[in-house]
Amino acid sequence: MKIKIARYMSKTKETALEYEVDLSDVTLLEVLNEIKTKQDATLSYSSGCRSSICGSCSMRVNDREVLACAYKVQDGDFIEPMKNSAVIRDLVVDMDRAYEFNAKAKAWQNSIKKGLNLSEENQTINELQSDCILCGSCYSVCPVYAVNDEFLGPFALTRVWRYVSDKRENEPQSKIDTIQTNGVWDCTLCNECTLVCPQGISSKADIEKLRMRSMASGHSDPSFATSFQGASFDGSPSF
């Protein structure tokens, strides 16, 4: 079986190198380990739990984000690092910027309401979002970053919904206010983030729910308001 791997040294992209391994029905991580130990010790990549839990082995195969420890390699596959993050070396990227968006979006529990008992329904409403493993696949696939590198993104916004929907959260409005700029209204709802999430989390659906909460609290889509500037009440142009 032959695969190609994009090799990066610092910010310089080098010609993809082809490797041949005598393996079949194995994960990409197993192939990378085989190459590194027996063919090319300079190959760099990240891995951790080997159980699709830590998210550290995320990378792209044939233009699609995967976890190397879960993806079964096919002959002819092309492996490259995640997008929208600076490449440190080969398949290793710097995720610091992605994690910084969590801070900008206030994607954490501010304070907890005391003495509140959660119902079974309350406990399950954000259970799926709590399963996020911070792999950054949704961050990598998001097309909005091509035009707005300050976009909070699906990575952070789905985590905001995790806490906004938590009945114990004492300051949900502050989170809603924070995500109005470069946030919920900048998403194109393309659903690419949902398709690549290894945990089956739909950031698109979470963003739609955040939009509804935003409107309920008095916010609105700024582009919608702008589109009606210069129009009269009945929709005809005003001069």
Report if residue 230 sits inside a domain: no
Q: What is the pLDDT along the chain (239 residues), one digit of tens a residue?
A: 999 999 987 556 678 999 999 999 999 999 999 999 999 999 999 999 999 999 999 999 999 999 999 999 999 999 999 999 999 999 999 999 999 999 999 998 887 777 777 788 887 888 899 999 999 999 999 999 989 999 999 989 999 999 999 988 889 999 999 999 999 999 999 999 999 999 999 999 999 999 999 999 999 998 876 655 555 545 555 54
Task: Judge if 63 and 106 occupy the same domain.
Answer: no
Boundary (domain end) residue, out of 64, 93, 122: 93
Distance CA 213, CA 183 (A): 13
Report if residue 41 sits inside a domain: yes
Task: Judge if 83 and 131 occupy the same domain.
Answer: no
How do strand 58-61 and strand 78-80 relate by DSSP bridges?
Answer: antiparallel
- Domain enclosing residue 70, as ranges: 2-93
Task: Judge if 119 and 185 occupy the same domain.
Answer: yes
Task: Judge if 170 and 191 occupy the same domain.
Answer: yes
DSSP letter string, 200-222: ---HHHHHHHHHHHHHHTT---H
Report if residue 235 sits inside a domain: no
Q: Which of 198, 126, 193 is nearest to 159 (CA)?
A: 126
Task: Judge if 68 and 111 occupy the same domain.
Answer: no
The two counts, helices (H) then strands (E), for the chain are 9, 9
Task: Judge if 73 and 123 occupy the same domain.
Answer: no
Report if residue 167 sits inside a domain: yes
Q: What is the pTM of this model?
A: 0.85
Give the chain's domain count: 2
